[in-house]
Amino acid sequence: MITYTDSNEEHFLEKLASKLGRPTPGKIPTRHISGPPDFWTKTQPSQDELLQQFIANAERLTVKCQLISNKNDIQSTIGGWISEIKAKSIICWDSPELKQASIPDICQNLGLNLTLWNHQADRREMIRQCANVDVGITWADYGVANTGSMAILSNPVQSRAVSLLPPVHIAILKRETILPHMGDIFTKLDYTDLPSSLTFITGPSRTSDIEMDLALGVHGPAKVFILILG
C-alpha cells in the first residue's frame, strides 16, 4: 500500500513538469480552513432568505417543493403528489426521522403497497425492490440554498438505493437545515463517525450526452418532490 505524503506529491509534480518541459512548481500552499471560502462567510442570510433561495433554485430544476408548518398537512401533501403521479408502491427508510413524521403510517393510510428498507434482509433483494417500486421516500439531512441541492448521509439503515433507483423521489427536509453553500455541510460532519457516503441530489437525474438532447430519469429519478417542514 502506498502512503501519500508531501514528498510523494512534490515528486509527482516535478516529474509531470519535466515531461511537459515546464519549470518545477513551487511548494503547494496549505489551506488551514475547511468549508466554504472566506468571502462567502461574510454574508449571513436569514433562514427565510435561505428558504426562498433554496425553493427558487430547486424549482428551476423542475423539483416540486412544498413548505408546511403543520404536521397534519404531511398526509394531504404526499397524498396529492401520489395521486398526481398515480403511484401504487413505495419504499422508504425505516428511520427514526421518517417514523417521527409518520411517513410509514401515512403511506398505509393512503392504501399504498409499502416496503421498508431492511438492512438485515438480503441486500440484492432489497435493491431489486427499490428498482421495481413507483416512489422512494427518504429524509434529507441538509439543503443547499445556492444550488437547490439536498445532501443525504447514508448508512445501513439509510440506503442510497431508496433515493436513486425508484423513478420518483420524495424527500423530507427540515427548514432549519438549509445552509447557504455546499461547503457549509462539510463543517457539520462528524469526522470521527463519517457516513458510508454523502450524496448531493440536485434535481431529477438528467443527461444530454447524446446529441445534446436533455433527457430526465436516465440515471435516476425523473421526478423529485421535497416536503419542507417548518
> Is 160 a residue whose pLDDT tops 80?
yes
Residue 6: all three cell numbers together: 508531501
Residue 149: all three cell numbers together: 441541492
> Is 195 a residue whose pLDDT tops 60?
yes
Task: Return the higher-pLDDT residue of 117 and 38.
Answer: 117
What pLDDT shows up at residue 30?
Answer: 72
CB 136 within 8 A of CB 166: yes
For the chain, what's the residue count? Answer: 230
Q: Label residue 162 by pLDDT band (50, 70, 90).
A: very high
**Interval 35-42 mean pLDDT:** 70
What pLDDT shows up at residue 77?
Answer: 96
Q: Label residue 6 by pLDDT band (50, 70, 90).
A: low
DSSP 78: H
Rounded to 5°, the CA angle 89-94-96 comes to 135
**Interval 10-27 mean pLDDT:** 82
**Interval 23-46 mean pLDDT:** 72
What pLDDT shows up at residue 33?
Answer: 67
> Is 1 a residue whose pLDDT tops 50?
no
> Is 78 a residue whose pLDDT tops 80?
yes
> Is 198 a residue whose pLDDT tops 80?
yes
CB 181 within 8 A of CB 36: yes
Q: Label residue 2 by pLDDT band (50, 70, 90).
A: very low
Distance CA 117, CA 156 (A): 9
Q: What is the pLDDT of residues 39-61, one digit of tens each?
A: 777 778 999 999 999 999 999 99
Task: Give me the domains of the chain, ranges plus CATH numbers.
Answer: 1-30 (no CATH), 36-229 (3.40.50.10420)
| Residues sharing a CB contact under 8 Å with residue 229, sequence separation 6 or more, in sequence order | 68, 71, 74, 101, 172, 173, 174, 175
- Mean pLDDT, rounded, of the chain: 89
> What percent of the chain is modeled with pLDDT above 90?
68
Distance CA 137, CA 85 (A): 14
